[in-house]
Amino acid sequence: MNTSIYDILTRDNGYLFLVLFGIFVSAMIFRENMSIYVTIVLGVCLIYRDEIRSMAKHKGFPKRKINQQQHVRNTEITLTQTSRDILKQLKTYSVYNPNAYRRGKRYLHMFFDQIQRFSSSNNTKHVIENAEMYSQQSIKLFRTLVFSIPETKYGSETTQDTKETLSELCERLEKHVYNILYNKVQIHNRDFKDNPNIDKCEIVYDTDNVKEYNYYHENELS
């Protein structure tokens, strides 16, 4: 019993329990004279201010640690050089529809997040399906930038050139993510042929898999 009490009082800032106990006793003794009690409390706080500050920081640490881990997870997503270059060019046109660009970029990050999960996933078919859905939503949103460009005047060459350039960027991005998905599908299908089981099935993926740009999914981000 004595050992356990000693451990409690000597562990970390355990001796502060003695201080708190002393404050409680002082409150009982000087309850008729609060000025003396307040003076004692303020004096104790002043003497042990460093320890109190340390305990406060320690208490808040877990939350900051969790937030930091979440931030690390968000920054782990790696885009290809091609996708980064295209995004950089697309950002020039984000002024026409900032919300569509922001959401399109978010879906593109979600696509690459799924691609990174592929090698460590036990259900690669599910990963491919998610990645395909995110890529389609991303391309669809980026293409809305084309229709957001205001017409300066009928048949304006400047407006038409801008739309054509933006359409070409979207087409490049679409082909790029398609090639990435196609390669992952080939890996999945080879694994299925080498190690068939009831949890796997072959995926047929070609140009017909590219759905219309107005494709809608109930889980679309708002």
Task: Please state, in angstroms and as integers, the Cα–Cα distance from residue 218 to each residue in 26, 79, 221, following that order.
Answer: 64, 26, 9
Whether 73 shows a pLDDT value over 60: the answer reads no
83 and 63 together in one domain: no
CB contact at 8 A, 192 and 212: no
- Our count of domains for the chain comes to 2
pLDDT band at 72 (very low <50, low <70, confident <90, very high): very low
Domain boundary among 59, 74, 89: 74
Domain boundary among 46, 74, 102: 74
218-221: long-range contacts, CB 8 A cutoff, minimum separation 24 = 219/133, 220/137, 221/103, 221/106, 221/107, 221/137
Residue 89 belongs to a domain: yes
131 and 195 together in one domain: yes
pTM to 2 decimals? 0.58
CB contact at 8 A, 128 and 203: yes
Q: Which residue has the tokens 């696509």?
A: 111
Q: What's the burial of 44, exposed, middle or buried (CB within 10 Å: 0-12/13-18/19+)? A: middle
- pLDDT reported for residue 137: 96
41 and 149 together in one domain: no
Residue 214 belongs to a domain: no
57 and 81 together in one domain: no
- pLDDT reported for residue 189: 87
Distance CA 222, CA 217 (A): 11
Residue 22 belongs to a domain: yes
81 and 62 together in one domain: no
**Domain carrying residue 62:** 2-74
32 and 96 together in one domain: no
Domain boundary among 45, 74, 103: 74
Q: What is the mean pLDDT of residues 113-129?
A: 89
Closest by CA to 181, choosing from 83, 104, 84, 76, is: 83
